[in-house]
Amino acid sequence: MTAPLPDELPLRAASAASDQPWHRLHPLSPLVRAGRQLMSLVVLLAGLLVANHHRVGRDLVTDLVIIAIALAGGFVSWLVTRWQITDGVLRVDTGLIRRDSRRFPLSQIQAVDVVQTGLARVLGLAELRVRMAGGDAAHGGRLACLRRSDAEQLRRDLLALSVAGTAVAAVAAIPARAVGRAGPAVVVPERLLFRVNAARLPVAILLSRTGAVAIAVAAAAGLTIAVSGRTSTIAPFLPFVLGAMVNLWRQLNGQYGTTVAAAPDGLRLRSGLIQTTAETIRPGRIQAVRLAEPLIWRALGWCRLEVDVAGARQRREDQGEGQRLRAVIPVGSRAEAGQLLGELIGSQPLLPRLAPPLAARWKAPLAYHFLGWNRDDRYVVASRGRVCRQTTWVPLDKVQSIRWVQGPLQRRLGLATVHLDVAGKRVSAKIQDRSDAEAREILAGLPDLARAARSAAA
């Protein structure tokens, strides 16, 4: 995973070992990168101006100074940031005082994202994110920002190179980076697999856990106003109301207009209302697929389909509730989910048909109905969950480790649980509450099956 240690200092190596040209980011990128903070400052400023237009003087100056410093910092950062692709490695050098030189071996790229914030969309810019396995988002490669067409061209190049492997010949075969003077874009035929229903999404979000929290908070605030008869009593609720609204907005913004398409270089996921994201997941990099059916959605026949990639952990703010995975279907009907699932795992999806032993009724009286697992020679599927039914498909060739776990109650009842861990955000298929004998058999048999699947995939 680590780049080989250079013999000399990175800086000198960087200047010496490059026949490929270095590139800069787009000159407007500091503006976009500062965009979020800038936006809130501007809003604050406007608010101040409106609220007390007599006494803004000093505050205005302070704010303008802050903005100027932020922009100057961004400009310096832009000035010292450069990137290049050479020998199958993407290199990003940055930093004025503390130089920071990163290499991303293209053969190990898990996914490439093109992200556009609202401001970036207005300016026609886009940020390119390269996701590697492990580490957190800060360690992923980020090129913020490029011109949109360049970002897309670069994504195509990166994916092509990453498929071609690290061979230098392959690198040479790709014409000199067209970035900066983007050549005629190659039109890649894509096959649309799924498009989220725009009317259903807001309703679904309101009916999800985030929505329930938001509704509860709003109801509490409303009740307080109704009881006290004064709007000012809402003050203590404001942070919660705001938080709930932000969460709702984040989900809507993140999942609005989700489309899934099959492209030659991988699965293309696009979504976003203001900030748009276009992710490309390379074929064979999906570590797990999960179908979630929360209680209320179940009644409406809706479900959510998520995939897990061994990419960087999400930024903390994006994490939402627990370990949220990338939703390929934020909300959809069972038929849509079944169809996409078939595409994702490349066959008729396996159903968790094997029911648990009767003793599991005592251990999991509510979930008993939903417990089950099954396997074939490529996949293991396991389902569980009381309120939210979760069915997880794990490719056998992606299994990292197999764990057999037995708690005291399970021991009494003669049960055991087997986890199949995959690289990703702590997702594991949990074959829950099987009889002792069956769990023993699974633990004894699955390692061999997984090995067979691995060698078949290799």
Partner 1 sequence: MSDPGDHPVPLSTEPADAGPDDATIAWRLPSPLLLRVRRIEVAVVTVPLAIAGGVAGAVVSTGLAAGIAVAVVVAGALGERFLARRVAAWGYAERQDDLMVRRGVLIRHQSVIPYGRMQFIDVTAGPLERSQGLATLRMHTAAAASDARIPGLEQGVAAALRDQLTELGEAQAAGL
CA distance 118 to 124: 10
Give the full edge-to-edge strand order of the sheet including 286-293: 326-333, 302-309, 286-293, 389-395, 379-384, 372-375
CB of 434 to partner 1, least distance (A): 11
| CB proximity list for 70: less than 8 A, separation 6 or greater | 34, 37, 38
Q: Closer to partner 1 by CB, 127 or 397: give it.
A: 397
CB of 440 to partner 1, least distance (A): 4
Options 144, 416, 431, 449; binder of partner 1; rule CB under 8 A:
416
186 phi and psi, to 5 degrees? Answer: -75, 125
Assigned token pair, 390: 């979760």
CB of 412 to partner 1, least distance (A): 8
CA distance 180 to 195: 33
- Binding segment (CB under 8 A) for partner 1, from list 263-271, 291-299, 348-356, 414-422: 414-422
240 touching partner 1, by CB under 8 A: no
154 touching partner 1, by CB under 8 A: no
Assigned token pair, 313: 């952990």
Contact present, 257 and 274 (Cβ < 8 Å): no
3-state SS assignment for residue 168 = helix
Contact present, 72 and 47 (Cβ < 8 Å): no
CB of 179 to partner 1, least distance (A): 28
432 touching partner 1, by CB under 8 A: no
Options 31, 214, 402, 449; binder of partner 1; rule CB under 8 A:
402
404 touching partner 1, by CB under 8 A: yes
31 touching partner 1, by CB under 8 A: no
Contact present, 112 and 158 (Cβ < 8 Å): yes
364 touching partner 1, by CB under 8 A: no
Phi-psi region of 16 (alpha: psi -120 to 50; beta: other; left: phi over 0): alpha
Options 424, 431, 432, 449; binder of partner 1; rule CB under 8 A:
424
- Binding segment (CB under 8 A) for partner 1, from list 42-50, 111-119, 204-212, 434-442: 434-442
Supply the DSSP string of 314-374, one letter for each residue: PPHHHHTTTT--EEEEEEEEHHHHHHHHHHHHTSSPP---BPPPTTHHHH-TTGGGG-EEE
CB of 259 to partner 1, least distance (A): 26
Burial tier of 189 (Cβ tally within 10 Å: 0-12, 13-18, 19+): exposed
Helix 35-51 vs helix 57-80: crossing angle, to nearest 10: 170
- Binding segment (CB under 8 A) for partner 1, from list 69-77, 225-233, 299-307, 398-406: 398-406
392 touching partner 1, by CB under 8 A: no
CB of 443 to partner 1, least distance (A): 5
411 touching partner 1, by CB under 8 A: yes
Q: Closer to partner 1 by CB, 30 or 395: give it.
A: 395
Assigned token pair, 435: 């009889």
CA distance 384 to 130: 33
Q: Closer to partner 1 by CB, 301 or 447: give it.
A: 447
- Binding segment (CB under 8 A) for partner 1, from list 79-87, 144-152, 200-208, 436-444: 436-444
Q: Closer to partner 1 by CB, 123 or 396: give it.
A: 396
Q: Which of 91, 90, 285, 265 is nearest to 163 (CA)?
A: 265
314 touching partner 1, by CB under 8 A: no
Contact present, 374 and 385 (Cβ < 8 Å): no
- Binding segment (CB under 8 A) for partner 1, from list 180-188, 248-256, 335-343, 439-447: 439-447
110 touching partner 1, by CB under 8 A: yes
Neighbours of 371 (CB within 10 A): 25
Look up tokens 């100027």; give the residue.
68
Look up tokens 């509510």; give the residue.
366
CB of 384 to partner 1, least distance (A): 15
413 touching partner 1, by CB under 8 A: no
105 touching partner 1, by CB under 8 A: no
Look up tokens 């999906």; give the residue.
286
271 touching partner 1, by CB under 8 A: no
Options 1, 50, 51, 186; binder of partner 1; rule CB under 8 A:
1
Binding residues for partner 1, rule CB under 8 A, total: 40
- Binding segment (CB under 8 A) for partner 1, from list 22-30, 42-50, 96-104, 417-425: 417-425
Contacting residues toward partner 1, per CB under 8 A: 1, 110, 133-134, 285, 287, 310, 397-398, 400-408, 411-412, 416, 419, 421-426, 428, 436, 439-440, 443-444, 446-447, 450-451, 454, 458
